[in-house]
Structure 1
Amino acid sequence: MFRGGTPISLDNKGRLAVPAKYREGLVSLCAGHLIITADPSRCLLIYPQPAWEPIEQKLNSLSSFNPQTRSLQRLLVGNASDVEMDSSGRILVPPPLREFAGLSKEVVLVGQGAKFELWDDEKWNLQIENALAFKDGIPVELDGFSL
């Protein structure tokens, strides 16, 4: 389970150091083999390979005759890149994906259970502000939900 947000700096080559608290788990779970892809929210999704494979299979099994489904397949599968953690626990974020997400030097790696989201620091802070404002109201699914 990946939880919490960690501020990270991308180096000049576009690499990020995976936080130490996740490295050992990622090595045992997937030998450091990760998939990075685009998300409709303009962040990046980072999956351990075993978690990504069923998602990719399900996406590819959907009908490509539906334009919305086809667009989602193009976005998620068409932008998926295989990356490997190096011996220092770094991964290279491919330049086209860095550009897609508008990543600057300062980014935030956010644990989301079985995956991570990678956000530009400023965009992440805006997401938090929007969440706090309940700009779009509270989703129906959260009626009766309590923390």
Structure 2
Amino acid sequence: MGQTGTEIEDEARGASSLEGTPTAGPTRLCGRYTNGIDTKSRVVMPAAFRTSFAAEGGLLTPWKNICLAAMAPPEFDVYRTHVARRLADQDEPDIEGILRTLWSSTVDFKLDVQGRLVLPEEIRSQVGITNEVRFQGYGRRIELWPGLVTSDELDDRTDHLATLAVVQATYIPELES
């Protein structure tokens, strides 16, 4: 299940998922880091991402059945409202049930003084995270993936970098406004 062109354009512009709703919190979470999970199910959040979650913590939720998404509470609220509105727009008959599933599959987290968060086995197992976590910034959220990069992912990354190279060749900052 991919994103629509409009969703991709919104993310490219850094726009809110809801028209006229400013997003709170970080807008430029980027980078990729891998850390191990200890015997108490704790993992160190990369220092580059910690400030976004230091004060209020965050929420972890399964994302597109392929990874986990970590969002600051205000961003999660925007996301939850977006989900509810999209479901209503599609005349979904069980909006309440779907939102109940969203909430019940989401966990709160707080960082400890060493920048660690607990990553419960129940939520990790949904996306195949075992003993290592790959943190990837993605705009206003962080995606948590299994630490091991598959050959398919490497092939995709190579293709994506080639596509970016073509697009980057057309970028002339003086012409952008």
Partner residue of 2:31? 4
C-alpha distance in 2 between matches for 1:131 and 1:72: 33
Structure of higher RCO (CA pairs closer than 8 Å, 6+ residues apart): 1
Structure 2: which 5+ runs fail to align? 1-27, 169-177
Deviates more, 1:69-78 or 1:17-26: 69-78
**Letter paired with 1:16:** V
Could you tell me how far apart the structure 1 residues matched to 2:144 and 2:81 are? 23
The Cα shift of 1:33 comes to 1.3
Which structure has the greater CA radius of gyration? Answer: 2
Q: TM-score, normalised by structure 2?
A: 0.64
Residues 67 and 123 from structure 1, CA distance in 2 versus in 1: closer, same or farther, beyond 3 angstroms? farther
TM-score using structure 1 length: 0.75
Structure with the higher fraction of residues in strand conformation: 1
- 1:132 deviation in Å? 2.5
Amino acid in structure 2 at the alignment position of 1:48: A
Alignment of 1:1-147 (within 5 A): 1-27=28-54, 31-61=55-85, 62-63=87-88, 65-66=91-92, 73=99, 76-123=102-149, 126-133=152-159, 146-147=167-168
DSSP 3-state at the match of 2:126: helix
**4+ residue runs of structure 1 moved beyond 6 angstroms?**
67-72
Which runs of 5 or more residues in structure 1 are unaligned? none
Q: Aligned residue pairs: how many? A: 136
**Percent identity of the aligned residues?**
23
Q: Compute the RMSD of aligned alpha carbons.
A: 3.0
